Amino acid sequence: MAINTSNSNYVNISNLPQAQEAINTDLLVLQTENGTQTISFGDFNVVKTDTSGNATVVGGLTGTNAYFNTLSSSGDIKSLNYFSNNQKGVFATNNYYNRLTLNGGLVTTASYALGSPEYVNITQTIIPNLTSWQNTQYRRMLDLNGQTNIAFNQTYVVVQLDLFYQLYPFISSSTLNNSHFLLTTTTRISSTPFISNINTDRATTNDLSFRINLGYAAPTSTGMVWRIFYTY
């Protein structure tokens, strides 16, 4: 401080020591309507930054436009509308959608197209392949039964199942044999009935025929119950 020729005091602020950062208790000089006054930095109502340029707003922040390179939040981010690359996020009802457009992680269009590639892939590739694989893991079963009679004084009866191999195309005629047949009777007999003459000529006919043999001439009409049990 010095006395100049006009007999006034002055201070050159460039000659004062410099502070590295303002804290809340520091004072600022304000020229107000009521004269020159001081205010603490804590009460100075502006957005304050630290030495690295970081700012913290304690209350709400309201404005027209805001630009951020990166926006991070530890709580909720709420808005009626969101935009990405100037494209508005779509408002879509609860429905099926298989064609979506995404911009920066935001869905901006959503629609459904019939005959879409994923539908064709599922129905024509995935499901048939899965079915074929399951058929190698699990065995299928054929269980047929019926009843017939061996007439009086007859030793056997022939049973014919029309279109058998057409109805059950996965059954191999070369492996169908006596072990797949079970026999019981509805009347008392004195022998063990058995199966013979199984028709496995699939190339000629799709019918299956087989003979149930009693082993002796039936003294009366004899009821026979047959069963075919075949796994494949």
Are 202 and 173 within 8 A, CB to CB? yes
Tens digit of each residue's pLDDT (9 = 90 or more) over 138-157: 777 899 999 999 999 999 99
Report the relative pairing of strands 141-150 and 222-231 from DSSP bridges.
antiparallel
Question: Residue 74: enclosing H or E segment and its boundaries?
Answer: none
Q: What is the pTM of this model?
A: 0.43
Q: Can you give the pLDDT at residue 68?
A: 82
Q: Can you give the pLDDT at residue 121?
A: 87
Q: In terms of pLDDT, which residue wins out, 2 or 170?
A: 170
Mean pLDDT value across the chain: 87
Residue 3 has pLDDT above 60, yes or no: no
Q: Can you give the pLDDT at residue 174?
A: 81
Hey, is 138 helix, strand or coil?
Answer: coil
Q: In terms of pLDDT, which residue wins out, 173 or 40?
A: 40
**How many angstroms separate the CA atoms of 106 and 66, rounded?**
19
Q: Can you give the pLDDT at residue 232?
A: 75
Say how many CA atoms lie within 13 Å of 52 toward its Cβ. Answer: 2
Tens digit of each residue's pLDDT (9 = 90 or more) over 56-98: 887 888 888 888 888 888 888 888 888 888 899 998 889 888 8
What count of other Cβ atoms lies within 10 Å of the Cβ of residue 226? 19
Confidence at 5, pLDDT banded by 50, 70, 90: low
